[in-house]
Structures are given as C-alpha cells and as structure tokens.
Structure 1
Amino acid sequence: MSQPTSFTSANYAVRIAFVVELAEHLHAYGTTAQRLEGAVIAVTQRLGLDCEPWVNPTGMILSFSDPLRPPGDSDTTRVIRMPPGDVDLYKLCETDRITSLVMAGEMDIAEGHAALRALDAREPGALGKALQVLGFAMVAVGVAGLWRLPWADIATAGTIGLLIGLLDLATRDGTRLKEAGEALAGIVAGAVAILVSAFIVPLNLNTVIIASLIVMLPGMALTNAMNELTSQHLVSGTARFAGAITTVLKLTIGTIIALALAQLVGISPNVRALRPQPDWVEWGALLVASTAFAILFRAARRDVLLVMAAAASGYLISRWVGNALGANIGLFVAALVITAAGNGYARWADRPGAVIRVPGIIMLVPGSNSLRGLMTLVQQQSVEAGQEAALLVMNIVLALIAGLLFGNVVLPARKNL
C-alpha cells in the first residue's frame, strides 16, 4: 500500500524520532508487550518504515530501516532503558489521540513529536498529588468494605492506606528509598495494624494488612505476565512475572519484620475473625473502590464515570455469575465480557480499550490471595499452609487468562491499545 506523500517525504530521522517517542510513552503507561509492539508496527507501516520491536518490562530495542533504500544503508537501532510502566489513562488516551491525528495527516510528524514530549511536562499539581494519596486510602477502605470487615478494621485499613500513599509520594521520584518502598509499606501496614489490635480494638489482622496494601499488590502485573506468556512474548512475560513475585516478596518481608519486632518487644496483637457488615456496606464500598481506581489510574474527567462503571461491572459480573455457577466461572465470564467490551469501545469510539479493560480487570486480579498465601506460609512455617492460597491464585489467573483470550476471540480488537 502506498504511503501518503507527507509521510514518505518526511525526514527519515524525524519519523524514527516520532516512533521512538510514541513507544516510550506507551511503555511508560503500562502497555503490555504484544499491544505495544503491535501499535509500533502499525504506525511504522503507515510512516513508510520497517521496524522490528523487542519489548520487555524494563526497556525496548527498536530496529528501523527504510524499505525504499538499499538493505543495510538505513539501518538504525535504538536501545531504550526504562523503568516498569504505571497506568495513566489520561496520557494513554492523549498519546492515542495525537498519533491518530498524525496518521490522519491532520498534524505534522514533527508537531506530533512535540505534542508527545509536551505530555511529559504535565506533572500533577498539589491537588493531583493529594488526590493520589487519598486514592490509596480509598482503595483500602473500599476493599475492606467489600470484604465486610468491622468498622474498626475499615478505619484502620484506610488510615494505613493514607500512610502508604504518603510513603509512595515521598519515594516515587527516585529517592534512595524507592527500591525498598514495598518493604517499608509492609512494615508500616504491619506495625499500625499490630498496635491498633493490641491497644485499641481486636482486628482481622492479616486481612486488614492485605486490604491496606492492596493498591501495591502486583495482581495486574501477574495477569499481564501470563497474558504475555500466552501470546508467545516469553521473555517479557517471564520478566514481568518475576517482577510481580519480587513485589509480593518485598511486601511480605515488610509485614513479617513488623510482626517479628512486635514479638521481640512483647506486643501481642488481638486477632478476631468477624465480618458483620450488611449488604449496603458492600455497595457503598464498591462505589468508593471504583472512584479510587479512577483516581489512581489518572482517568480524564470525561472518562471518570466510564472507568468507575467498568471497575464495578467487573466485580458485579464475577460476583453474580460466581454465586450461580462457581467462583472461577464468574471470573472467566467477567474477564471475557470486560475484554470484549474494551475491544468494542476501541472499535466504535476509536479510543483505547484500556479505559474499560484495565479498571474492569483490576477488581478480579489475584494480588491479595498471593500475599495472603505467602504470609500464611511464613507465619506458620509450613508449606502445606500456603498451598491452598497458591492453588487459589493459580485458579484465578487461569480463569482470567481464559477470559482475556476468548474475549479477544468473541470481539477482536482493531486497536492495539
């Protein structure tokens, strides 16, 4: 297919610079390897370039050539080292919009490159940072409410979530504490929960800790890793899986340190198993959790209600179908419906399906079960104690991956995002 004159006549280096900038943005916003590579290949074909991308969670290799020039005459390779991406739905949608304008010829390639670079300059102000911190607390409160914990447990989880949000804000910009951020979060969660249960009111101790740490758990990363592995992106999937496991290990290390320190100083937490809340608390908690994910995923104002609806729908579908047919079938159906809905939204709205897919899946991922299993394993020093939780995690992941795969079969995606 012949390319528009404006593309093929553009400077070769300018076209490469635009594609590299686009790839960096998609990687920074948490795009999986297969979707990022698909998006890059689609754009380079329109720009009259040959490109062989190789993507992993911590970097990319992009090899370019000009098909109109002799082989080897125009070969250019870019090796890009990047940290693992984080979901930012607003910037992802803006990146998609800018790219669409360039592909449609409504924006010059150089202008598109400048517009993408301008996105990097958009940093959240004081209000945005405060909302992000509040989002951590809201997720903890929402999840604790969904689990129908007592009010004291919900309040404790929310307080810990707020402290972890402040810790995340302090360590986000590459401070020397960043690498130990998850372990420090585990220490904070464990210490506060132990002190509250020992001196104020008994708690569902492990459950409160997990609810407060839920936002840091790599359930989405674990699901994406398995998705990449099933898509034959073996290196990226293996690396992402290892990163997810490492995060769970660091969170577990932090909580176990807090428990060990409490034991050394003679503080014994009062643990109870109680979930007394009525149905209306669960509905309110679902609203709080859905709002929190819209904040944490940095959804644009126009997308807030859509993101909230997607998050709530994923949970409700899995809950209702799970009650009728079994938990794993509920997860499978929810993942299938959400994936198909995201692909449909991308088709008909011509916007990234991630706006629906990511928040819809986040309520289903197995992060809390993986942390619970590892904590039980370490606390009881028994492999058998953690086997049940490990099997539960495996079943959840299998159900989600099956839903993602067959959701793409039911309604294939036209956009890679």
Structure 2
Amino acid sequence: MDNAEFIQIRRFILKLGKMLHKYGSPSFRLEAYLNEVATHLGVHASFNSTPTYLTMVLWSDGHEDEYNHSARMQPGELDMNSLSRTDELAYELLSGNISLAEANICLDKIDAMPSPYGKKLTGLAFGMSTGAFAMLMGAGWSEIMYSGLLGVMVYFWTLWAIRSKRVSLMLEPVASFSVGFMVCVINHYSSSGFNIWLIILSSLIILVPGLSLTMGLAELSSRNMISGTARVMDAVMQLFKLYFGAFLGVSLGYHLFGQQELAQAATLPIWGNWLGVLLLSVGLIAIFRTRLRHVPWAIATTFIAYSVSTWSSVYLENGLGAFVGAFSLGVFANVFSRLANAPSTIVAMHGLIVLVPGSKTYIGLNSFISGHDIMKTDHIGQETFLILMSLVAGLIFANVVVPTKKAL
C-alpha cells in the first residue's frame, strides 16, 4: 500500500466515523463497524468513541504509514435515513462497485441530505406521537388532544434550538417550562379538569431520555465504560433539566391561577392502547427519518415489542415482561438485518421506544420530589431498574440466538 492510497483510505474512514457518530450510533456498535471497514480496506485500526469524542488510530502493515485523529463531537441524534444510506455506501465500496474517491463524494451528499419528511410532517409526527403516548398512559380524549398540541409546541422549540446555540443549551428546561405553564393555563380556563402532570409527561416524551439511558447501560454491559457512563449521566442530567423546567412552570402557574387539583379524565377502552401503538409507530417514522422501504418493518417492530411484552407481563411480574419483549424485538431486528442487508438499529429503535422506562423514571422523580403520583404505581423504582436490566439482557440474548449480520 503506497502513501497516497493510505491517505485516501483514512480520509474515508474518518469521514465515515464522524457521520455514523452524528447519526446516533452506540459506541460499541460504531467501533465494531469501523473496525470491520478498516480490515476490509487493508489497514489496521483502533477506535475509541464516546457521546462527545471520537478518536481513531490507523496504520499500515509495516507501520510505514500511521495516522492519529481526535475530534470533539456533539452527541448524535437518530437519523435512520442517513444511517441506512451510509451503510449502503460502505457496502458498495467494500464490494468493489465504487471507488474510494466516489465514496467520499457520496458521503458528502448524504451528510447534506435534509429530512425526507420535511418540517411540517415532522411537526405533525411530534403531535401524533405525544398524543399516542397519552393514550398508552390511560389518558382521556381531552388529555390526548392537549398532549398532542403541546407536543407540537415542543417541536417548535427543537427547531429553534437547531438555529440558536443558546436555545440548544437550554432546550430541555425551557421546553418543559413552557409546557408546564401552558398546562396550568389550559386547566384554569377549561370547564373540565385533567391530570396536568400526565399531559406534561406525554408532551415531553420525545425529549425524555429513556432511550439514551438504555443505550448507555447497553454500552456498559459491553464494557465500554467511559462511553456508557457518560451516556447514562447525560441522560440523568437531561431528565433533571426536564423535570426542573416543568416544576418551575407549574409553580408559576399555581402562583398565578391558584393550586389546581389533579383530576383524571375518563380513560379509553382497551382498543385505545392499540390505536396508540399504531399512531406512535407512524409518528416515529418521521421523527427517526426512517426510509420508506423500511417503514413496514419499523411498524411491525413496534407492535411486536408492545404485544409480546404486554402478553408476557401477565405471567411475569416486576417488569420482567420487558425481557421477553426485548428478546423478541432483538430477534426480529436481526432477522430484518439479514433479509434487508441493513443495520438492525434502523428498526430496533422503534420497538425500544415502547419498552424503555423513561416515563417511569420521570414518574418516580415526580413522586419523590412533589409527593404526588401522576398515576397509581407501586415500587416504581424497583420496576424501572428491572425493566432497564431486562431490556439489556433481552437484546444480548437475542444477539446470541440470532446474530446480527452487521455491527451497526
């Protein structure tokens, strides 16, 4: 390998690593994937990834050429469209269908690609997903409607955060403050009362870091200690910021409009849960930017995760039904990876959303600080811990039974 070829290879791997990090790939999957690509391209490599840092070392067989690179990175956001296209491009390169120069140009095009669903559809997806989550939480029609409307307001804050660095630094507390205060305003002028904390939780569910917390524990289980610890602590701080903002907004609302009783609207029948799962799965398609070819798989994944975990919870107590749900989800996602020749993460994240206990963590935090229960729950701390461990264990067992085709 001459020096020019080595430079071309390391440029591609560097750009590939930064892009996959940007699209929210877990550290242990990102490092394994980049090692596979480097091996196929004929170079030796060592990678170290954290949510805010990426380091790589590349060298040739005889150490004639060596390259070290360290970069400070912003935590990535899930983008299944770009992740899928980047993986396809890497596969085309390793198959010999395109050259390194062509691959580098294509990576730039993928990186500049906007969301395939646009801002209006994504905003609608925020409202649909937050309303659907309220359905799953046993809310009434009025609570579902207000959760959806406030979810759209949260989306406007996320758009502002993209354009303003100052807003991005305070996105969680300012969005939750706005939601908390607006719920008090709505409840004050509404003829029928409702559970304001349930609406707040549902409206903010897209920002609640349940998925990040699960990913961090998965990284810790794979012995990525630095990355896992950083992701878990980041998720905890996001949760604290969300709760503080909501608590501040509600406190201001109580001060202006007086203490408001927590009323519970009439809940929907059992079919409301399944409608909620459907609407949530459809909304996540735009939020995660899932490609149209993967949409049926993503929706099926959500229903499999929810139905299996619900069914098994009848026979398994203390949240252990999440283990069976995560195992089924992992097997299905790995089968998808083999059949579609795509990363299992593309559809697995959709199913994990209905399994991760981010909402239970928020409920427990609210009960601990305020003394009020959003909904009737017993031993929520123990149940949340068991669900988190069950999710990680279920995914590990699934990878043993049906190994994934790709590291991502």
What's the TM-score once normalised by structure 1's chain length?
0.93
1:111 to 102, 105, 115: 102
- Give the aligned residue type for 1:23: G
Contact 1:147 1:275 in 2 (8 A): no
The unaligned stretches of length 5 or more in structure 1 are: 1-6
1:398: Cα distance to partner?
A: 1.0
SS in 1 for 2:127: helix
How many angstroms does 1:392 deviate by?
2.4
1:43 maps onto 2:37 in alignment:
yes
Q: Indicate yes or no: 2:281 matched with 1:287.
A: no
The residue number in structure 1 matching 2:342 is 351
Deviation of residue 320 (structure 1)?
1.4
Aligned to 2:65, which of 70, 74, 81? 74
**What does residue 29 of structure 1 align with?**
23
How far residue 221 of structure 1 moved from its aligned partner, in angstroms, is: 0.4
2:98 and 2:4 map into 1 onto residues whose CA distance is 13
Structure 2 distance, partners of 1:324, 1:107, is: 52
SS in 2 for 1:62: strand
Say which is worse superposed, 316-325 or 148-157, in terms of deviation: 316-325
Contact 2:184–2:254 under 8 Å retained in 1: no
How far, CA to CA, are the matches of 1:390 and 1:148 in structure 2? 20
Q: 1:275 to 1:381 in 2, by over 3 A?
A: closer
Q: Find 1:230's aligned residue among 212, 221, 242.
A: 221
| Structure 2 contact 318–386 (Cα < 8 Å) conserved | no
Question: Is residue 2:6 matched to residue 1:12?
Answer: yes
Alignment check: 8 A CA contact 1:182 1:247 kept = yes
SS state of the match for residue 407, structure 2?
coil
Q: Within 5 Å, give how 1:333-412 maps onto structure 2.
A: 333-380=324-371, 388-412=379-403
Per-residue CA shift, 1:305-338, capped at 9, x if unaligned? 2211111221111111112333623210110111
The one-character-per-residue Cα deviations of 1:243-263 (angstroms, maximum 9, x if unpaired) are 100110110010110122123
2:127 counterpart (137, 148, 152):
137
Q: What is the alpha-carbon distance in structure 2 between the residues aligned to residue 64 and residue 251 of structure 1?
A: 41
Please point out which of 233, 248, 258 is paired with 1:267.
Answer: 258
Code of the residue aligned with 1:154 in structure 2: it is I
Counterpart CA distance in 2 for 1:108 and 1:274 is 61
Q: CA RMSD in A?
A: 2.0
Q: Which of 202, 215, 223 in structure 1 is aligned with 2:206?
A: 215
Counterpart of 2:152 in structure 1: which amino acid? L
For structure 2, which runs of at least 5 residues remain unmatched after alignment? none
Matched position secondary structure for 2:168: coil
Q: Aligned letter for 1:222?
A: L
CA–CA separation in structure 2 for the residues paired with 1:254 and 1:386: 23
1:67-107 deviation line (CA, Å, top 9, x unaligned): 1x3x3x42211111211111111111100100000000001
TM-score, length basis structure 2: 0.95
AA aligned opposite 1:181 = L
Q: What is the CA distance between 1:174 and its match in structure 2?
A: 4.2
Q: Supply the distance in 1 between the matched residues of 2:37 and 2:266 (Cα, whole angstroms).
A: 52
Partner SS state of residue 78, structure 2? coil
Compared with structure 1, are the counterparts of its residues 84 and 386 closer, same or farther at alpha carbon in structure 2 (3 Å cutoff)? Answer: farther
| Equivalent-residue separation in structure 2 for 1:378 and 1:322 (angstroms) | 29
Report the identity percentage.
27
